[in-house]
Amino acid sequence: MPRDNWTRDQTIVTLRTYFSVPFNKANNSNEEIIRVAKIIGRGINSVKMKIGNFGSLDPELARRGIVGLSGASNLDREIWNEFSNDREKLAFESTVIVAKLSNKEIEEIIELKTEEIPEGKEKIRLIKTRVNQSFFRDSILGIYNGKCCITGLGISKLLIASHIVPWADDSKNRLNPENGLCLNSIHDKAFDEGLITVTTDYKVKLSKAILDFQKEEIIKKFFKEFEGLKITMPERYFPNKEFLEYHNSKIFIK
C-alpha cells in the first residue's frame, strides 16, 4: 500500500488523538503525536496534518473562529461522521486497534492488573469501563491544556477529569467533554462532595460547609482565594450550563 494511503484503523486512532491533544499544541514536538505516529506507522508530520484536517470538520472549533486544514479526505469525513458523536465507540475501537498494532492485550493498554480481572461478562464490563474512563481523562486534560481549571496546577498525576453530572447519574453523557472539568485532586473531591461548585457563569462558589472553616489558613489558600473567580475555560467544548445547574441544585451543599 502506498505510504500516503491512510487506513481506516490509522484514521480512527488519530481521531482519538485529536480529542486528547490541545489543537493549539498539535505540533511535531508533541509527545502524544510522536507516540501515536510510531504506533500506527505514520510520519509525525502526517499525523499532525491529519489532526489539522479533523479540525476543519469540528463545529466546536468553527464556533471559536479556529480554522483547521483544508485537506480532509473522504475517509476523514467518514470516520468523523461515524465517531465524533459516539465517543464510547471511538474509545473502545481505538483502544482495540492500538492493542493490535502494539502486539499487546487490551488489558495491558489500559493497565489493568491480572488480579483485578474478573471472569466472563464482568471482565468485558470492567474493560469497557476502564477504556471509557481513560478516554474521558485524556479528552478533558486535552481541552484544558493539562491544567486545573480552578488553580492552574499542571502536574498531570495530580489532575482528575471530574464529571459535572456524576458517572452513575447520566450514562448518556459519561464521555461528553461538556460534562467534564479538569480539577486537581483536592478540588475534585470537594466538587464531588458538593463543597464547591461552578456556577452557570463559570465562577467558583463555596459551600457554607467550607466557609465555616474560612479562618483556617489552609482553607484560605485552597478555597477562599478562588471564590468568585471564573474558571479557566477549555479550548473547546465549554462546560454545559444544564450540567452545571444540575450540580448546583442536586449536589452542591447550600
Question: CA-to-CA distance for 109 and 98, rounded, in angstroms?
Answer: 8
The residue ranges of every structural domain in the chain are 8-140, 146-251
Q: What is the mean pLDDT of each run of 10 residues along the chain (254 residues)?
A: 78 97 92 96 96 95 88 96 95 95 86 66 82 95 96 96 94 94 97 97 94 78 93 95 97 93
pLDDT in tens, 85-143: 999 999 999 999 999 999 988 888 877 666 666 666 677 788 888 999 999 999 999 99
Residue 31: count other Cβ atoms within 10 Å of its Cβ.
Answer: 9
The pLDDT of residue 49: 96
Alpha carbon separation from 12 to 29, 87, 154, 169, 194 (Å, rounded): 21, 11, 28, 29, 37
The pLDDT of residue 132: 93
pLDDT in tens, 179-192: 999 999 999 999 99
The pLDDT of residue 1: 39
Question: CA-to-CA distance for 20 and 227, rounded, in angstroms?
Answer: 29
The angle subtended at Cα 10 by Cα 9 and Cα 12, nearest 5°, is: 65
Question: CA-to-CA distance for 172 and 103, rounded, in angstroms?
Answer: 32
Question: CA-to-CA distance for 90 and 13, rounded, in angstroms?
Answer: 8
The pLDDT of residue 2: 44
The pLDDT of residue 106: 81
The pLDDT of residue 116: 65
Do 51 and 170 contact (CB within 8 A), yes or no?
no
The pLDDT of residue 111: 76
